[in-house]
Amino acid sequence: MIMKIHRAYKFRLYPTKEQVVYIRKTFGCTRFVYNYCLDLKRKNKYLTKFDLMKELPKLKKEYPFLKEVDSSSLQNTITDLMVGFKKHEKGIGGYPKFKKKDEKEGFRTNFITSSYKGRVYENIKVNLVRRVIELPKLKCVKIRGYRNLDNINGRILNATISEVGTRFYVSVCVEEELEVSEPSNNQAVGIDIGVKNLVVTSNKEYYGNPKYLDKYERKIKRLQQELSRKAKASKNYIKCKKKLEEVYRKLKNARKKTVEKIVSNITRNHDIIIAENLQVKKMLVHNNNHKHLRKEITNATFSEIIRILKYKCLWLNKIFIQVSPYYPSSQICSKCGNRNEEMKDIRVRELKCSKCGLEIERDYNASINILNEGLRCYNN
Ligand SMILES: [Zn+2]
C-alpha cells in the first residue's frame, strides 16, 4: 500500500546582506496584509477568504511596495489568518491578534512549476550537493543541514522562511510516498507518559524527566522577568526577546533529541505501540497548582512524544494506537480490573488494590492497562 505523507526539511539559511533586506521586507509586507485583512474581518465578520483575496490587487495599487515581494506569500498570510479564525470558531484558539514587528517572523511561499518552450521552470529548487536553495525573488541562498542526504525525494509543496533569534531558517515541505506494509512481529507495548517519569513502558522500562528542563526553565524565567522590566519595542527589549527565543530554541532542540532517543528505543522491538490520549493528563497538570511556565514546558514535552511516536510509527510501518482520553488507566488494577478511586490523586505513587491486594508502582500499572485497553480496541 502506498501512502502519501508530508515531511518538512528544515535548513539553516545563510542569506547575504541584500537577501536579508528582501526577507525582512517580505516579513513587513505579509504582516501589513495580515493586519489589514484582520482589521476588515473585525469590522465585518462575514468576509470570506475569497473576499479578502480580492483585496490584494487593490492593495497593491495603493501600496506599490507590496509588488516587490513574492505574491504567494501575501496570499498565504490571508490563508493563515482564516485558519486562525476557523480555530477560534472551533474553540481551540483565541481571537486572531494584530502582528507586531518584534514577534517571531516568517512567510511561506508556494512551489510553482511551469514549462516554456520545452523547458521546465521551478521556482523552488534544493541542491544538496552545492548546498543551496533557490527561492522566488531571492535566487540562490546558502543552506546547511541534512549532511547525509544528497537529494530530497518527493514533490516540493512550499517553503517557509523564518527568523528566530538571530538565525534564519527555511523549512521545505515535501510530499513523499511511503510504502506501508503489515507489521512483521506482533509485539505490542503500552506506554504511560507523565511528569514524575517521562515515559514508563509495560516492559517496566523507566525514562526519567531530563534535568535540562529545569535549567532552561530557570533561564526562561529570568529572561522573562528581565523583559518585563524593559520598555516595549525598545532596542534592549528586542535584544532580550531574541535571547529568550534563543533559549526556547535550545530547549526545543534538546527536548526533540531526548524524545527521539526514547521513541527509537521503544519502536525498535515493537510493532504495536499504544499510548494514552493526553488531553485529560494535560488538564491534570494544570490542576496540580504547577506554575504556568512549568505547565507550558511539560505539555510541550507530552505533545512532542506523541508527535514523534506518530511520525516514527508511520515511517517504520508500525501501528500506533491511542486509548480513549476517558479511560482511567491509573485507577484500574492491572491484575484484577478493580477500580481504585484513590488513585485520582496523582500524588499517590503506589497502587494498593483493595480487591486483590496487588501492590504496584503507579505509572507501570498504568502502562500495562494502556497496553491491554489498546489491544482490546485494536482487536475489535
Ligand atoms: Zn486488583
- The rounded Å distance from CA 50 to ligand 1 centre is 60
- The rounded Å distance from CA 335 to ligand 1 centre is 5
- The rounded Å distance from CA 291 to ligand 1 centre is 35
- The rounded Å distance from CA 329 to ligand 1 centre is 13
- The rounded Å distance from CA 368 to ligand 1 centre is 13
3-state secondary structure of 159: strand
- Round the CA-based radius of gyration of the chain to a whole number and report it: 24
Signed CA dihedral, 369, 329, 377, 190: sign only: negative
Residues of the chain falling short of pLDDT 50: 286-290
Give the domain ranges of the chain. 2-179, 181-213+244-380
**pLDDT for position 85:** 93
- The rounded Å distance from CA 333 to ligand 1 centre is 5
**pLDDT for position 329:** 93
- The rounded Å distance from CA 210 to ligand 1 centre is 32
- The rounded Å distance from CA 351 to ligand 1 centre is 9
Count the neighbouring beta carbons within 10 Å of the beta carbon of residue 41.
Answer: 20
Q: Which residues have C-beta within 8 Å of that of residue 96, sequence separation ≥ 6? A: 38, 41, 81, 84, 85, 88
List 164's β-bridge partners, or say none: 167
- The rounded Å distance from CA 241 to ligand 1 centre is 53
Q: Which residues have C-beta within 8 Å of that of residue 190, sequence separation ≥ 6? A: 201, 202, 274, 275, 367, 368, 369, 370, 371, 372, 374
Distances (CA, A) of 91 to 35, 41, 324: 22, 18, 21
Question: How does 138-165 read in b/e, with b if 16+ C-beta sit within 10 Å?
Answer: beebebeeeeeeeebebebbbbbbbbbb
Fold adopted by 181-213+244-380: Nucleotidyltransferase; domain 5 (3.30.420)
**Cell numbers that stand for 348 in this block:** 499517590
- The rounded Å distance from CA 328 to ligand 1 centre is 14
- The rounded Å distance from CA 359 to ligand 1 centre is 9
- The rounded Å distance from CA 334 to ligand 1 centre is 7
CA 140, CA 142: separation in Å to the nearest integer?
7
CA 367, CA 203: separation in Å to the nearest integer?
9
**pLDDT for position 255:** 92
Signed CA dihedral, 231, 233, 238, 244: sign only: positive
3-state secondary structure of 175: strand
Instruction: Summarize pLDDT for 329-369 with one digit per residue, the tens.
Output: 999 999 999 999 999 888 899 999 999 999 999 999 999 99
Instruction: Give Cα 143 to chain centroid, integer Å.
Output: 22
**pLDDT for position 289:** 46
- The rounded Å distance from CA 360 to ligand 1 centre is 10
Select from 380, 199, 185, 192 the least CA-distant residue to 271.
185
Is the CB of residue 320 less than 8 Å from the CB of residue 334? Answer: no
- The rounded Å distance from CA 207 to ligand 1 centre is 26
